[in-house]
């Protein structure tokens, strides 16, 4: 292992080889996921390499100048990374406008903007625990989450080492009776950050795995591991050579004293990386402890360098194709994912069959080469650009980022104008065609709806369908996934002689627009108890079981303290595995029994049809044709709904099946009476729920009267 500026040259073959394997793993994982199920660990290889290279660079600067020149460091990072990333974001923005259905624009441009300002990872972490965003499409810039983590590292890391340098210069920290050197303080700081982040990663991966994958705090230890290796690999000053880092370095050198030992260690490192790529998959808790496997592998490969042994991996690492792939790894990473997301849904791409992924790989490589040749290198190595004053570099960087923002703002503004015009047309239609709107089109009591102008109408407009949610989903009325606080809201006529409760998850909340209309018209009090992804069940089948169980306890205690409701309406997302259906049924009965004992009527509404993924994809591609993408009842409806069985088993409970207003003639269309029925694969739109009010009211009254 070499020191000083020589380190960059010494480590180049293996660094480029690691980059090549990292980007190759990610690309293969995205194009052929079954071929390399653990390919997602490629980003972790990048993180360790970045920690090693950047820490080494900063340490050499501290040794040479006694400080860290933040402005120059950030300017170099901006010249290296921003030109290619801004170019890709602009290209993705244009492709979104030209090729992506309007219903996805808001999500996509929101993520494009977050990516431009390197906050994509925190946005995805937030969306991962937001039940309303659970069915968001993978955006063409989703992969910018890892670049966001790296950029945040580039901001914080030099500040940390600068702080260490200042403390050392002021002799603010003393160990063993003498002031600590910058290297020694850096070692303490890196160890503290690395250990704390690893512990947090392990804990968060268990408690909140969805957000753990994206947040910076669970990944910082990977940069720290690379930084610690740089700390012992690049000692310069006399004090560093005689300190703890040097002693560790000497131990490492003794362990790898011969080329043969270094070759064995290098092969071991590559074997650990290969094991992670092959053995890990989407079910592996990650990052957490599992990430240690590829991280240790990378550290071994870097630490052993390029062993000069006849049977070492040096020749393979230094092979021209490997070095070439490592050289274009950044641009290749940037381009491959947008091409997958934007091209894959297109009919032309799907007609390619097995050739499609090969086509995307070929185009990605070509774009990567062009970007490296005409964007990355000219900006990175241009003497004129290097001589620019820091403020000009900052202005150029800000201009590119703000330019991406303005494209998104302009596009969504135009979309909003189009939506307003469409809504004006819709309002006019609603005034004249309300008798056949939505569910009325399937009602036996209304005839002639098939001949109305609503056959050519889409309400709401497709670009706003994801926002067509019940008002109940407001924060004050909803307990979020992971939350336990009981939030209740009252609608209708408060203090009425007839009190109704709506209790359950988002599938129960989907009936709120219809129930509110009924409550307003009949003078009922309507109270809501709603938690995302949590049915009213004593043994909730949910990925969020702990908070869900606590929330259910709160609901039961609250219901027991107040006067009994006349009517309690429940529903749920019917997604329990077949072997758990009996437990779910028993859980419903256990939750409802106290209500029935106190005189409440419990009415369970059977879950609505679920749209297959291909139907939801087909819908915008077909030009929003109401029937061409419609699944059959067998495809959309589960034969068994445990909430129905539970109501049949409990005297005092009853069921309502509204699916005659979702399916007709063995088909479950996505548009009924001009109204888009689903805002995602399993949630009905608030507008369609509203049109169900008279038919839900009819069934409710019949059930209540029959019970009394």
pLDDT level of residue 39 (50, 70, 90 thresholds): very high
Reported as half-sphere exposure (CB side, CA atoms, 13 A), residue 353 has a value of 1
Give the number of other Cβ atoms within 10 Å of residue 129's Cβ.
17
Among 23-32, 498-507, 614-623, the least confident range: 614-623
The pLDDT assigned to 644 comes to: 92
The pLDDT assigned to 619 comes to: 83
Domain presence at residue 211: yes
pLDDT level of residue 13 (50, 70, 90 thresholds): confident
Average pLDDT over residues 342-356: 88
The pLDDT assigned to 542 comes to: 54
Among 299-313, 444-458, 485-499, 552-566, the least confident range: 444-458
Q: Taking 80 as the threshold, does the pLDDT of residue 214 lie above it?
A: yes
What percentage of the chain exceeds 90 in pLDDT?
54
What gap in Å lies between CA 653 and CA 644, rounded to an integer?
Answer: 10
Among 70-84, 230-244, 359-373, 588-602, the least confident range: 230-244
The pLDDT assigned to 578 comes to: 82
Q: Are residues 700 and 573 in the same domain?
A: yes
Q: Are residues 454 and 381 in the same domain?
A: no
* Number of domains into which the chain is organized: 2
pLDDT level of residue 472 (50, 70, 90 thresholds): confident
The pLDDT assigned to 510 comes to: 94
Q: Are residues 463 and 351 in the same domain?
A: no
What gap in Å lies between CA 327 and CA 292, rounded to an integer?
Answer: 26
What gap in Å lies between CA 386 and CA 79, rounded to an integer?
Answer: 9
Mean pLDDT over the full length of the chain = 86
The pLDDT assigned to 640 comes to: 87
The helix/strand/coil state of 142 is coil
Average pLDDT over residues 662-677: 89
pLDDT level of residue 322 (50, 70, 90 thresholds): very high
Average pLDDT over residues 247-272: 79
Domain presence at residue 428: no
The pLDDT assigned to 252 comes to: 64
Q: Are residues 72 and 120 in the same domain?
A: yes
The pLDDT assigned to 330 comes to: 97
Among 125-134, 234-243, 393-402, 608-617, the least confident range: 234-243
Q: Taking 90 as the threshold, does the pLDDT of residue 698 lie above it?
A: yes
Q: Are residues 163 and 272 in the same domain?
A: yes
Domain presence at residue 417: no
The pLDDT assigned to 27 comes to: 97
The torsion angle over the Cα atoms of residues 569, 590, 553 and 699, rounded to 10 degrees, is 0
Domain presence at residue 465: yes
Domain presence at residue 420: no
Among 291-300, 465-474, 570-579, 620-629, the least confident range: 620-629
What gap in Å lies between CA 507 and CA 609, rounded to an integer?
Answer: 11
Average pLDDT over residues 426-432: 65
The pLDDT assigned to 3 comes to: 35
Cβ contacts of residue 501 below 8 Å, gap of 6+? Answer: 526, 527, 528, 529, 559, 565, 567, 568, 569
Q: 262, 304 in Cβ contact below 8 A?
A: yes
Average pLDDT over residues 101-121: 91
pLDDT level of residue 257 (50, 70, 90 thresholds): low
Average pLDDT over residues 520-528: 95
The pLDDT assigned to 308 comes to: 76
Specify the CATH number for the domain of residue 575.
3.40.50.1110
The pLDDT assigned to 187 comes to: 87
Map 566-625 to HEC letters: CEEEEECCCCCCHHHHHHHHHHHHHHHHHHHHCCCEEEEECCCCCCCHHHHHHHHHCCCC
What gap in Å lies between CA 109 and CA 404, rounded to an integer?
Answer: 9
The pairing of beta strand 174-175 with beta strand 178-179:
antiparallel
Q: Are residues 387 and 496 in the same domain?
A: no
Cβ contacts of residue 606 below 8 Å, gap of 6+? Answer: 571, 641, 643, 644, 655, 656, 657, 658, 659
Q: Are residues 392 and 480 in the same domain?
A: no
The pLDDT assigned to 446 comes to: 64
Q: Are residues 348 and 457 in the same domain?
A: no
Range of the domain at 354: 6-408
What gap in Å lies between CA 242 and CA 520, rounded to an integer?
Answer: 81
Domain presence at residue 602: yes
User: In the structure encoding, which two tokens stand for residue 145, read together?
Assistant: 């989450």
Q: 480, 544 in Cβ contact below 8 A?
A: no
Q: Are residues 369 and 464 in the same domain?
A: no
Domain presence at residue 424: no
Average pLDDT over residues 292-315: 87
**pLDDT higher for 150 or 664?**
150
The pLDDT assigned to 489 comes to: 93
Mean pLDDT: which of 128-142, 164-178, 264-278, 383-397 is highest?
A: 264-278
Q: Are residues 365 and 504 in the same domain?
A: no
**pLDDT higher for 49 or 312?**
49
Question: What single string gives the DSSP state of each residue in 163-216?
Answer: HHHHHHHTT--EETTEEPPHHHHHHHHHHHHHHHHHHHHHHHHHH-HHHHTT-G
Q: Taking 70 as the threshold, does the pLDDT of residue 19 lie above it?
A: yes
pLDDT level of residue 2 (50, 70, 90 thresholds): very low
Q: Taking 80 as the threshold, does the pLDDT of residue 475 lie above it?
A: no
Domain presence at residue 416: no
Q: Taking 60 as the threshold, does the pLDDT of residue 544 lie above it?
A: no
Average pLDDT over residues 22-50: 96
The pLDDT assigned to 242 comes to: 47
User: Last residue of a domain, which of 388, 408, 428?
Assistant: 408
Q: Are residues 331 and 469 in the same domain?
A: no
User: Last residue of a domain, which of 408, 430, 459?
Assistant: 408
Average pLDDT over residues 189-193: 93
Q: Are residues 319 and 256 in the same domain?
A: yes
Among 151-155, 619-623, 658-662, the least confident range: 619-623
């Amino acid at each position: 292992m070499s020191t000083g500026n020589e380190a960059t040259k010494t480590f180049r073959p293996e660094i480029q080889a690691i980059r090549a394997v990292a980007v190759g793993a990610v690309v293969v994982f995205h194009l052929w996921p079954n071929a390399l199920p653990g390919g997602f660990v490629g980003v972790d290889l990048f993180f360790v390499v970045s920690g090693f290279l950047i820490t080494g660079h900063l340490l050499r600067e501290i040794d040479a100048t006694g400080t860290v020149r933040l402005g120059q460091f950030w300017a170099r990072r901006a010249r290296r990374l921003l030109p290619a990333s801004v170019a890709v974001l602009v290209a993705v923005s244009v492709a979104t406008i030209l090729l992506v259905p309007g219903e996805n624009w808001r999500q996509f441009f929101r993520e494009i903007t977050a990516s431009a300002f390197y906050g994509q990872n925190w946005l995805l972490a937030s969306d991962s625990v937001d039940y309303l965003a659970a069915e968001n499409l993978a955006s063409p810039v989703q992969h910018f989450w890892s670049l966001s983590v790296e950029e945040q590292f580039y901001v914080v890391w030099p500040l940390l080492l600068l702080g260490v340098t200042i403390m050392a210069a002021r002799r603010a920290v003393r160990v063993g009776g003498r002031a600590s050197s910058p290297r020694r303080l850096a070692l303490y700081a890196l160890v503290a950050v690395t250990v704390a982040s690893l512990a947090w990663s392990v804990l968060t991966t268990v408690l909140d795995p969805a957000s753990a994958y994206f947040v910076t705090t669970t990944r910082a230890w990977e940069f720290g591991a690379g930084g610690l290796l740089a700390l012992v690999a690049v000692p310069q000053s006399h004090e560093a050579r005689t300190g703890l880092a040097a002693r560790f370095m000497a131990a490492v050198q003794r362990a790898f004293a011969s080329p043969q030992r270094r070759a064995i260690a290098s092969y071991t490192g590559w074997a650990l990386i290969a094991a992670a790529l092959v053995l890990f998959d989407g079910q592996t808790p990650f990052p957490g402890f599992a990430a240690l496997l590829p991280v240790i592998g990378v550290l071994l490969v870097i630490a052993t360098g390029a062993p000069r042994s006849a049977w070492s991996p040096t020749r393979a690492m230094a092979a021209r194709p490997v070095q070439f792939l490592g050289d274009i790894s950044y641009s290749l990473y940037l381009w491959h994912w947008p091409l997958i997301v934007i091209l894959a849904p297109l009919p032309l791409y799907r007609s390619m069959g097995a050739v499609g992924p090969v086509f995307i790989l070929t185009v990605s490589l070509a774009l990567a080469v062009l970007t490296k040749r005409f964007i990355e290198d000219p900006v990175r190595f241009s003497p004129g650009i290097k001589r620019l004053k820091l403020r000009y570099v900052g202005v150029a960087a800000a201009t590119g980022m703000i330019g991406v923002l303005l494209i998104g703002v302009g596009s969504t503004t135009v979309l909003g104008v189009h939506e307003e015009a469409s809504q004006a047309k819709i309002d006019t239609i609603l005034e004249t065609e309300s008798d056949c709107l939505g569910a009325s089109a399937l009602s036996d009591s209304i005839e002639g709806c098939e001949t109305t102008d609503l056959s050519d109408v889409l309400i709401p407009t497709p670009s706003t369908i994801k926002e067509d949610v019940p008002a109940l989903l407001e924060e004050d009325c909803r307990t979020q996934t992971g939350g336990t606080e009981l939030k209740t809201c009252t609608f209708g006529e408060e203090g009425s002689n007839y009190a109704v409760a709506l209790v359950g998850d988002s599938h129960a909340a989907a009936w709120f627009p219809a129930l509110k209309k009924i409550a307003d018209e009949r003078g009922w009090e309507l109270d809501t108890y709603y938690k995302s992804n949590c049915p009213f069940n004593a043994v909730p089948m949910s990925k969020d079981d702990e908070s869900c169980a606590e929330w259910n306890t709160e609901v039961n205690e609250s219901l027991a303290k107040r006067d009994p409701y006349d009517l309690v309406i429940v529903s749920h997302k019917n997604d329990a595995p077949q072997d758990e259906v009996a437990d779910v049924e028993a859980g419903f009965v256990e939750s409802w029994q106290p209500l029935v004992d106190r005189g409440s009527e419990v009415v369970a509404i059977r879950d609505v049809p679920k749209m297959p993924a291909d139907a939801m994809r087909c819908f915008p591609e077909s030009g929003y044709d109401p029937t061409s993408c419609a699944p059959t009842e067998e495809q959309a409806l589960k034969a068994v709904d445990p909430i129905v069985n539970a109501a049949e088993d409990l005297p005092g409970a009853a069921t309502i099946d509204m699916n005659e207003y979702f399916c007709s003639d063995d088909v479950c269309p996505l548009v009924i009476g001009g109204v888009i029925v689903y805002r995602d694969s399993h949630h009905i739109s608030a507008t369609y729920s509203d049109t169900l009010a008279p038919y839900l009211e009819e069934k409710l009254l019949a059930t209540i009267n029959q019970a009394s």
